[in-house]
Amino acid sequence: MNYDQEEIPSSVNEIEAVRIAACLNEAVVKMAFLNTLTPDVLAHRDELANLVGDEITTLINEQKALEKQFEVLVQQQHALRNASNTSEMKAINKQIEEVSSKLKEKTTVLCRNLKDSPNISENILKIQTERAAIQSLIQRTIKDLNDLSYPTMAKSVGEEKEQYDKLTMAEENERKAAAEIAALKQQIAQTKAKYDKLDTLLQVSVGNKREDLKKLRASDPEVRVAEPEAAARLEAKKRINTAEENELEEQNELLRQKIETEKRIHDEFFNFLNTQDQEMKKLMTKWLLKSERDTEEINFKNNQVNQKINATEKVLDDLQGQELQKRIREEDRIETRKQEKETREVEKKVRAARREVGVLEIQHWIWEKKYAEEAAR
């Protein structure tokens, strides 16, 4: 399908609509006829599986046989490793290489067949599903053509174009990635070739140096004498280095243990402080709540005490007023008694005075009478 076209108009005239509908109806009829020719996938599934599975089954069985043969040869190789018969060991190694090569070849063929072998039943079901979707799309388009438009078909074509563009972009990205991979493989091959060349030159140079050293040892007696001394010095240096290394390892172990101890102490101290902090927060919250409750209770008790004090003061005022009145009455009573006593004393004195006056009057009368009698005589 070519999507690089100009935008198709969204509406048609009646004649074009009739022509398009006729073509689409014919396409629907032919698709229905194709459905009658398609075999029943479920009925022929076992037959299709047998057609594509015989070769794969044979390859799997051959691969299992080669794996068993490879295991037997490896066991024989381990059994002959300490034996002195080198010819038999070489024969076993050769057989292992041949079996390994055949096993790799069979594995490659099996992977290729598994990759290339189509799943016929799934492909037929996929074709039937896509054909049914196309038939449904055509039938909806025929209905849309009654209104001289085809929005369903336009929408489907737009979605197909978007999917096609995505696939094209993915293929382009895949091609670029494949080209980059090929370039990297070529670069790796060139680097490996350079490395192999340098390795070969280095091995040749080392071999030449070894030959020169052997010749020098054989020809120069001083070298033969100096060699043991150098070996002894090297061994002594090696022992010194080993001792220093052991000492450093011991110091490192001590430092590591010290660090672990410090870390453990730090963690425990941190956990302790964290626990104490949590406990202090809980206690602070508890004491704040208790302080609020105690404050409320004290305020309540203070209010009660103030009320009691006010009531007591009122009662005391009343009692003081009553006591004052009682004291005034008592003082009045005492004063009254005192006045009454004084009055009685005065009256008593008056009565006494009156009695004295009466006596005096009587005496005076008696004297007057006596005097008068005497005068009359």
Strand (E) or helix (H) holding 289: helix 221-376
Give the pLDDT confidence of 289-298 residue by residue, as tens digits.
766 776 777 7
How many angstroms from the chain centroid is the CA of residue 40?
Answer: 52
Name the average pLDDT for the chain: 73
Per the model's pLDDT, the better-predicted residue between 191 and 359 turns out to be 191
The band of 137, judged by pLDDT with boundaries at 50, 70 and 90, is confident
Give the pLDDT confidence of 170-209 residue by residue, as tens digits.
888 888 888 888 888 888 888 888 887 887 888 888 878 7
Look at residues 53, 36, 57 and name the one whose alpha carbon lies nearest to residue 45.
53
Residue that the structure tokens 């049914």 belong to:
132
Give the pLDDT confidence of 35-81 residue by residue, as tens digits.
665 555 445 555 555 555 667 777 778 877 887 887 788 777 777 76
Give the pLDDT confidence of 207-249 residue by residue, as tens digits.
787 787 777 666 655 555 566 666 777 788 888 888 888 888 8
CA–CA dist 133, 31 (Å, integer): 11
User: What's the confidence (pLDDT) of residue 102?
Assistant: 81
In this structure, of 82-96, 258-272, 353-367, the range with the lowest mean pLDDT score is 353-367
Among residues of the chain, what percentage have pLDDT more than 90?
0
CA–CA dist 236, 368 (Å, integer): 178
User: What's the confidence (pLDDT) of residue 122?
Assistant: 64
pLDDT at 132 over 70: yes
In this prediction, residues 127-147 reach a mean pLDDT of: 75
In this structure, of 97-101, 257-261, 370-374, the range with the lowest mean pLDDT score is 370-374
pLDDT at 3 over 50: no
Letter for the amino acid at 65? A
User: What's the confidence (pLDDT) of residue 4?
Assistant: 45
What DSSP state is assigned to residue 84?
S
Which residues touch 109 (CB under 8 Å, ≥6 apart)?
59
User: What's the confidence (pLDDT) of residue 329?
Assistant: 73
pLDDT at 1 over 50: no
The band of 6, judged by pLDDT with boundaries at 50, 70 and 90, is very low
Domain ranges of the chain: 10-149
Length of the chain: 377
CA–CA dist 182, 174 (Å, integer): 12
Give the pLDDT confidence of 327-345 residue by residue, as tens digits.
777 777 787 777 777 777 7
Which residues touch 103 (CB under 8 Å, ≥6 apart)?
63, 66, 67, 70
Alpha carbon of 356 to those of 40, 110, 201, 232, 362: distances in Å? Answer: 172, 174, 179, 168, 10
The band of 374, judged by pLDDT with boundaries at 50, 70 and 90, is low
Token pair recorded at residue 20: 């398009």
Alpha carbon of 41 to those of 48, 149, 219, 241, 314: distances in Å? Answer: 9, 38, 89, 79, 111
Strand (E) or helix (H) holding 159: helix 151-219
Per the model's pLDDT, the better-predicted residue between 241 and 318 turns out to be 241
Look at residues 221, 52, 30 and name the one whose alpha carbon lies nearest to residue 121.
52
Is the model's pTM score more than 0.85? no
